[in-house]
Amino acid sequence: MRKEREMPEKISPGMQQYLDIKKDYPDAFLLFRMGDFYELFYEDAVNAAQILELTLTSRNKNSENPVPMAGVPHHAISEYIEKLVDLGYKVAVADQIENPKDAVGIVKRAVTQVITPGTMVDGKNNGENNFLVAIDQAENKFALAYIDLSTGEFKVTELPDFMTVKGEIASLKAHEVVAGYPLEESQTKQLTQQLNVLISEQFERDENISNVNSFQNLSSLSNKAENRALSSLAEKTEENKAEQEPMDLSALTDLEKSLVQKLLSYIKRTQMRDLSHVQNIEHYEIKDFLQMDYATKSSLELTANKREGKKHGTLYWLLDSTKTAMGSRLLRSWIDRPLLNVNEINKRLEITQILIDNFFERADLIESLKGVYDLERLASRVSFGKAVPVDFLQLANSLSNVPIIKNILESINQPLLSSLANRMDALPELTEFINLAIDDTAARTITEGGIIKTGYNEQLDKYREALENGTSWIAKLEADEKVKTGISTLRIDFNRKDGYYFHITQSQLGSVPDHFFRKATLKNSERFGSKELSEIEEIMLEAKEKSSTLEYELFLKVRATTEQYISRLQALAKAVAEIDCLQSFATIAEKEGYIRPVLTPHDKAVNIKNGRHAVVEAVMGAQEYVPNDIEFSKDTTIQLITGPNMSGKSTYMRQFALTVIMAQIGSFVPAEVAKLPIFDAIFTRIGASDNLISGESTFMVEMSEANHAIQSATENSLIIFDELGRGTATYDGMALAQAIIEFVHDKIGAKTLFATHYHELTELETTLKHLKNVHVATLEENGNVTFLHKITEGPADKSYGIHVAKIAGLPNVLLERADIILQKLENKPVIVQSLENHDEQLSLFDFDEQSTEIIDRLKKANIDNMTARDAMNFLWDLKDLL
């Protein structure tokens, strides 16, 4: 007996199959198909039950060690996978790979796909990209590749340092990062921190996510098996090569080739299918675009606002009047990567102008674009084998709009639009094929019939005719038997167990004819069959089963045929996206009253008349916004901006940067005149941003960002520094600010906006010939100050900090005390006594005993009955006497 207890419990073949598969996927939730459910067992079941709010049960409940178990219905699997992957987990899906009817013993099962945050293609992405990013290193160089499996976009580049790698990952808003080399501990920490910040910005306010810490696995960068969102790419290159489909890698560097091969191998191992929609790899150079690091894009709020990490209130939000998902994604890409090539910029500007000038054609174009679905994602669903009937209906509907778009472009009769029209490949043969094959009322399911149109396949039509005839045969048989038997309540019914049968109540059993045979006995009735009914049933069931099987096979052929058009569909999608972006530029320019910028790559001068901050104006309204001129002669490189807080200095600087970005993506800009050079980079340091995760203070962050700008900027760059140096002691900050200004002035020569509260720095205009003082104008009347939000020449005479505090609502007694202290400081006092530990009114001055007039006035003053203004006037009188 004792020996029997020590023996391990016997494991069923099904559980042994599960354990064998799970061994290969220890770092993933394994969803194991069993009938109509996907089951999870052991630790997976316990964890998934908590995360997905599933009922936790157990297998072999009566055994000594019952196995924890939880399951989800097969038809709802996608939503559960999406939730797990959104939380940074990896999911392995094990399906039945043979028909249970054909199985000898246990049904064969195998993992058919591994889904990770970067390989998710069915999630609620709102049309945005879902990038899987891979990095690799050789000596001091880095390679970075990224792919979106939901669209097929695939690009690679080489980068000079790890800081640039982090910036690219952040800009791409990577959902998953895989490494092709063992990361150093310092790199692991840096990238983890960067991704943590990114994760917080992207997901912390998502209604569906309860805890940001759930995403920490996304940024786990070691190569251990337990990592859920990060997988190692460290495979032998030669082995990877043998697994890949042919792809043109001839234009890539050796490091880029190696990384691409590793990434393709990783995708193939996880997706386990041919991915015909993955586009040929495209090499890009960041130096070919206007460079902006992640801090710059974040501070300028190009695609995500700083408050919520959402689209609203960003340049992307403002310019996005696109009508297609492809157009919206391309617009975001354009904003992330403004152009340097003036000819390409002018091409976009010219098309925008043409579309503005042709209002009615543009209105028709917009209506046609509304009928185009996401061609890139439809193509990927076909490639993944996930396309359902409605996807093909959407595809055919989209293609039917393409000839209309093409005709509109050609009707405007402009060479630039004709070039776009020539790229509008309508694929008429595919449209005709889908319209012939797929029924207009087809549902999303592909196994229950009703997919293929009548008339498409002769055999399928015969089966359907048999089904229709069988229905009429049954109706006729029922009527005939009622007459023959005299049983008025007789009827023919059907269920899966008994098939077709005659239903006869207990009271009519005496009238049952001899050619009926009993099928089942119920409490108050019995079920009978007949030879004729069985023959009809056999014909109908055979027709039903064979028609469903044939229809499914025909649908798979439709999918396979459509797959041959994927590359053409992707090329069409690019053309549609481009025209969609350009019509969006035209629509917004007309609506907001923007003008076409003039780009002068060989002239360093800047001339913006009545420029506006595009996003602030859109939020506030044009009536409230105060426009400003921005002027740099070719010899002026630095504007030193002084003026009070809240007066508009930061808006003025951001306005300049956004105008540059808008111009270089080919958009019209908010101004009356805009003459600009081509900038190669924008560097910003705007506002406080402690990096709490890495323990860096505001001052450390601002010095790091200032260093990045100084080390990277050229004479063709734009630098924006706001209050640099304020995070340390006054004289330290002032000294650093002056040294930075002088360095930029003497060594770099970049166009620079430098806002400061250090008024002493305004003296630099006398020694630095390329520096010009400007300030924000104010209106002061009767002790009240109005900020005019207007930039004028020369330095500001005051900072008006106390007036800002007054606007903020600080107590009057505090403001009055601050004003007195300010006056003493401005008169160079030796010391101003602290308020600390003093309950009574402080003595501000040591009066001479002979100053009897002042003493007498103080004694007679009724301070309790003074208003704040009376007290101020009284103090001014005393000051005059002194």
Cα gap 83→43, rounded to integer Å: 18
Concatenated DSSP letters of 476-542? HHHHHHHHHH--TT-EEEEETTTEEEEEEEGGGGGG--TT-EEEEE-SSEEEEE-HHHHHHHHHHHH
Reported as a single tens digit per residue, the pLDDT across 671-724 is: 999 999 999 999 998 765 544 334 456 677 778 888 888 999 999 999 999 887
CA 529 to chain centre: 62
Res 240: pLDDT: 36
pLDDT band of residue 797 (cuts 50, 70, 90) is: low
Lowest mean pLDDT among 307-311, 549-553, 571-575: 307-311
Residues that constitute the known binding site for ATP: 643-650
How distant, in Å, are the alpha carbons of 393, 399, 408, 438 from that of 431? Answer: 9, 6, 20, 11
pLDDT band of residue 540 (cuts 50, 70, 90) is: confident
Residues that constitute the known binding site: 643-650
Six token digits for residue 439: 């029924």
Residue 152 has pLDDT above 50, yes or no: yes
Inter-residue contact 177 to 221 (CB < 8 Å): yes
Q: What is the mean pLDDT of residues 275-301?
A: 91
Lowest mean pLDDT among 440-454, 519-533, 734-748: 440-454
Residue 756 CB contacts under 8 Å (≥ 6 apart), including other chains: 640, 641, 642, 723, 724, 725, 737
Residue 254 has pLDDT above 60, yes or no: yes
Q: Cβ-count burial of 209 within 10 angstroms (0-12 exposed, 13-18 middle, 19+ buried)?
A: middle
Residue 372 has pLDDT above 80, yes or no: yes
Q: What is the mean pLDDT of residues 313-321?
A: 96
Res 139: pLDDT: 83
Domains 11-115 and 320-427+572-592 share a fold: no
Residue 193 has pLDDT above 70, yes or no: no
The conformation of residue 794, written as its DSSP 8-state character, comes to S
Q: Backbone phi, then psi, for 651, in 5-degree steps?
A: -65, -40
Q: How many CB atoms lie within 10 A of CB 664?
A: 27
Q: What is the mean pLDDT of residues 305-329?
A: 92
Six token digits for residue 293: 């690091």
Using alpha carbons only, give the angle 729, 732, 736 rounded to the nearest 5 degrees.
135
Residue 217 has pLDDT above 50, yes or no: no
Locate tokens 């060479």: which residue?
415
pLDDT band of residue 729 (cuts 50, 70, 90) is: low
**Domain 132-288 sits in which CATH superfamily?**
MutS, connector domain (3.30.420.110)
CATH of the domain spanning 466-559: 1.10.1420.10
Looking at domain 11-115, which CATH architecture does it have? 3-Layer(aba) Sandwich (3.40)
Residue 1 has pLDDT above 80, yes or no: no
**Average pLDDT of the residues of the chain:** 83
Closest-CA residue to 146 (of 162, 135, 158): 135
Using alpha carbons only, give the angle 439, 445, 447 rounded to the nearest 5 degrees.
95
pLDDT band of residue 780 (cuts 50, 70, 90) is: low
Element (H, E) at 544: helix 531-563
Res 161: pLDDT: 86
| Fold topology of 320-427+572-592 | MutS, DNA mismatch repair protein; Chain A, domain 3 (1.10.1420)
Measure the N-to-C terminal CA separation of the chain; round to a whole number of Å.
Answer: 109
- In the chain, what percentage of residues exceed pLDDT 70? 82
Reported as a single tens digit per residue, the pLDDT across 630-677 is: 999 999 999 999 887 777 788 899 999 999 999 999 999 999 999 999
Res 773: pLDDT: 94
Lowest mean pLDDT among 168-182, 311-325, 731-745: 168-182
**CATH class, range 598-798:** alpha beta
pLDDT band of residue 231 (cuts 50, 70, 90) is: very low
Residue 557 CB contacts under 8 Å (≥ 6 apart), including other chains: none
Res 465: pLDDT: 85
Inter-residue contact 434 to 392 (CB < 8 Å): yes
Locate tokens 């005496």: which residue?
510
Comparing 182 with 73, which gets the higher pLDDT? 73
Comparing 174 with 667, which gets the higher pLDDT? 667
Lowest mean pLDDT among 218-227, 451-460, 465-474: 218-227
Element (H, E) at 793: strand 784-793
Query: Where exactly are the structural domains of the chain?
Result: 11-115, 132-288, 320-427+572-592, 466-559, 598-798, 811-881
